[in-house]
Amino acid sequence: MLTAPQGTEHSGLFSPLDLASRGSVTAAVSGGSDSTALLLLLKLHLDRFSPTTRFVAVTVDHALRPESADEAAAVARLCAGIGVAHRVLAWTGDKPATGLAAAAREARHRLLAEAAVTENTDLVLTGHTADDQAETVLMRRERGDADADGRGLAGIAPATLFDGRTWFARPLLGARRETLRDFLRQRNVGWSDDPTNLNQRYERPRVRRKLAGEDGDAAVVEALAVAADAARRRERLGDAAAALIREHADRPAPGLLRLQPDFFEARPDAAIYALRILLAVTGGARHLPDEARAAALHARLAAGGQVRAVLSRTLVDRRKTGVFLLREARNLPEADDLDAHIWDGRYRIAGPSEPPAGDRSFVYGEKGPVPETLLHLAAAAQPELPAGRTAVPVLAPWARFLPSFDLAPARAAAELIGAPQIPAPPFREHIESKA
pLDDT digits (tens, 9 = 90+) for 318-368: 999 999 999 999 999 886 666 667 899 999 988 765 545 544 444 444 566
Q: What is the pLDDT of residue 15?
A: 92
C-beta of residue 85 within 8 angstroms of C-beta of residue 42: no
The CATH H-level (homologous superfamily) assignment of domain 24-212 is HUPs (3.40.50.620)
Distances in Å between the Cα of 384 and the Cα atoms of 117, 225, 295, 390 are: 31, 50, 34, 10
Burial of 115 (0-12, 13-18, 19+ CB in 10 A): buried
Domain with CATH 3.40.50.620 in the chain: 24-212
Grouping H, G, I as helix, E, B as strand and the rest as coil, residue 324 is: strand
User: What percent helix, strand, coil does the chain show, rounded to 5?
Assistant: 45, 15, 40
Q: What is the pLDDT of residue 349?
A: 86
Q: What is the pLDDT of residue 413?
A: 98
Question: What letter represents residue 205's amino acid?
Answer: P
Q: What is the pTM of this model?
A: 0.91
Q: What is the pLDDT of residue 199?
A: 59
Q: What is the pLDDT of residue 213?
A: 76
